């Protein structure tokens, strides 16, 4: 009930701590209406300087800004902060949600970290949406590099199947489908 979170925040008369900021950023991102945007941006400006080193909090702020369609400010946060795999995922997912799939792939190619299963899914989705030679090349390359321990991740495999189908590669998609041991209902 993110609206209720915002209602409760309006009644608060104490300075929020990092946990409260994170909760509020998440609520604002989920609501993403004018009120939530106003509260979220106000919170960002009021956030104490010592919180600017909290990577979890900043990842939440990036997610919120991307949900608002405020890509420029999300990019500004991203450029100035220490990054982890979640930071890259938040940016790439935000680019995909804002129909900026090329930027998601650019960031993926620049990422100095090994991709986790979530990054794989985001990149497969970007490749499936972009539907050009670059997207197909990146998607196929990433699919062939999937670590063995990801072969049991049905969400990741389903995302790869979707990507292959959008490429028109039914044969590869069917082959991958057959490798899924436990089909979900």
CA distance 151 to 43: 41
**What is the pLDDT averaged over residues 73-90?**
94
With respect to residue 149, please indicate whether it lies within any of the assigned structural domains: no
Q: What percent of the chain has pLDDT over 90?
A: 73
CA distance 19 to 16: 8
pLDDT band at 69 (very low <50, low <70, confident <90, very high): very high
- Tell me if residue 156 falls in helix, strand or coil: helix
CA distance 160 to 168: 12
With respect to residue 21, please indicate whether it lies within any of the assigned structural domains: yes
Residue 68 is part of which domain span? 1-82
Assess contact for 142 and 120: CB atoms under 8 A. Answer: yes
What does each C-alpha distance from 170 to 26, 127, 162, 165 come to in angstroms? 38, 16, 10, 5
pLDDT of residue 149: 80
- Per residue in 28-63, pLDDT tens? 999 989 999 999 999 999 898 889 889 999 999 999
pLDDT at 183 over 70: no
With respect to residue 18, please indicate whether it lies within any of the assigned structural domains: yes
With respect to residue 42, please indicate whether it lies within any of the assigned structural domains: yes
Choice among 12-21, 68-77, 137-146 with the minimum mean pLDDT = 12-21
Q: How many domains does the chain have?
A: 1
pTM over 0.85: yes
With respect to residue 45, please indicate whether it lies within any of the assigned structural domains: yes
């Amino acid at each position: 009930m993110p609206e209720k979170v915002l209602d409760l925040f309006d009644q608060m008369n104490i300075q929020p701590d990092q946990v409260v900021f994170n909760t509020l950023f998440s609520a604002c991102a989920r609501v993403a209406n004018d009120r939530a945007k106003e509260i979220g941006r106000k919170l960002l400006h009021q956030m104490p300087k010592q919180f600017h080193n909290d990577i979890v909090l900043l990842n939440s702020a990036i997610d919120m800004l991307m949900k608002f369609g405020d890509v420029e400010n999300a990019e500004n946060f991203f450029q100035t902060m220490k990054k982890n795999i979640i930071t890259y995922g938040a940016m790439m997912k935000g680019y995909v949600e804002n129909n900026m799939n090329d930027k998601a792939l650019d960031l993926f190619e620049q990422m100095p970290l090994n991709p986790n299963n979530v990054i794989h899914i985001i990149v497969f989705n970007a490749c499936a949406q972009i539907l050009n030679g670059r997207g197909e090349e990146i998607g196929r390359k990433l699919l062939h590099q999937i670590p063995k321990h990801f072969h049991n991740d049905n969400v990741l495999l389903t995302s790869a199947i979707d990507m292959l189908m959008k490429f028109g590669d039914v044969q590869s998609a069917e082959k991958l489908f057959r490798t899924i041991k436990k089909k979900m209902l």
